[in-house]
Structure 1
Amino acid sequence: MDSFKILLVMIFQTVGVLSTLNCPLNETEWKVKSKAKVCQGSDVYHCLVVEDGKARTEKCKEKTLIMNGYCPIFTYDDYIHWKICNKTGCPNKHFPSDEVYKFPVCFNIESEGKDFLGRLESRQDNTLPLKIGIPVGIIAALVVAAIIVIVVMKKRRYTPTCEYFIS
């Protein structure tokens, strides 16, 4: 497993970037997102919950058949897998993984602690720029501080002494 991917997912989940992704809830929205994603070959657009149940993400993957009573998920290894669904509105028939929008309960994530209706309310959440801006601002400040430290250290190293001017 690529540890860099895990680290990025953990960072994004911590600041809430991935969890705010809202998957399309009907065929029309799904087709719009699918065209925007531009998948290649036999891969098709998917928007699924990540395997730990704390975030959603979009990827192009080959579709697979999901059995009734299960919801498709993305593993950390970028595969489509499934988890058992034991809530109201769970799939009651087999379906292709790229038709998960028919079962909105499959988009629930644990960190929200809300049912599907609560997730709909979160679509009005305008905090995404803040959730992205804060980490970007912190990273920018750290980069600027590192540059200042490097410049100061170089100036100290190359500062001429009085002996240089006297000779």
Structure 2
Amino acid sequence: MFLVTKSCPRDVRGWKTRGKNFNCSNPNEVYHCLPDENGRLGETCTKGPAGWVEKDFCPEYNRDTNDVNTVPCHISTDCPDEAFKTNEVYKYPVCLQGSSSAHDGGTSSLPWHIIGVAVGVIALLVVFSVVALICYRKRRRRTSLIINL
């Protein structure tokens, strides 16, 4: 179960308090608060011990598999500089930004492929406009030549 929340604890004390209140009933479960694959922050209990996250990666909850995965941190600064356990994500606020901004630095909520398509469409419009302008000027020049004859 993954319950969407507005924020995650930002320190060990808050993490332990929230974890107790969330009440992971099975002793083998570990409390987590982290973004899911859609960038929504949420709380969950996962089975087994907390996993490890590599340097320059962030943990992310996968709702399809009900498991914690790791994804690259695409921010130039403040990414994790050492390996850490998935339930210690509070040490790296950049990984708790949610809304997929943990992957793109919070600079845009649009996926890169959408931005690329938009740039491509704009480039095509500019090219077509230039071609239309050239054709218009040639036609105008021909018309003025015919009138002058």
Matches within 5 A, 1:145-160: none
Q: What's 2:91 paired with?
A: 102
> Compared with structure 1, are the counterparts of its residues 112 and 99 closer, same or farther at alpha carbon in structure 2 (3 Å cutoff)?
closer
Give the structure-1-normalised TM-score. Answer: 0.53
The C-alpha deviation readout for 1:119-163, integer Å capped at 9, x for no partner, is xxxxxxxxxxxxxxxxxxxxxxxxxxxxxxxxxxxxxxxxxxxxx
Q: How does 1:135-150 map to 2 (within 5 A)?
A: none
Contact 2:55 2:80 in 1 (8 A): yes
Counting only pairs closer than 5 Å after superposition, residues 1-167 of structure 1 correspond to structure 2 as 18=4, 21-39=6-24, 40-53=26-39, 55-61=40-46, 62=48, 63-76=50-63, 77-87=65-75, 88-110=77-99
Cα distance in structure 1, aligned partners of 2:98 and 2:13: 23
Q: How many aligned residue pairs are there?
A: 100
Taking the aligned partners of 1:91 and 1:111, their CA distance within structure 2 comes to: 16
List runs of 5+ in structure 1 lacking aligned partners.
10-16, 117-167
Superposition deviation, residue 24 in structure 1: 0.3
Q: Cα RMSD between the aligned structures?
A: 2.7
CA distance in 2, matches of 1:30, 1:97: 12
The alpha carbon displacement at 1:37 in A equals: 1.4
Instruction: Work out the percentage of aligned pairs sharing the same amino acid.
Output: 31
Greater percentage in strand: 2
Provide the TM-score with structure 2 as the length reference.
0.59
CA distance change for structure 1 residues 91 and 41 in 2, over 3 Å: closer, same or farther? same
The answer to which structure has the higher helix fraction is 1
Residue 73 and residue 89 in structure 1: after superposition, are their counterparts in 2 closer, same or farther (change >3 A)?
same
SS in 1 for 2:9: coil
Structure 2 counterpart of 1:73, one-letter code? E
Q: Which has the larger radius of gyration?
A: 2
1:41–1:22 Cα change, 3 Å: same
Q: Deviations over 1:49-103 (max 9, x none)?
A: 01122x1110011310111110001002211001100212111101010000000
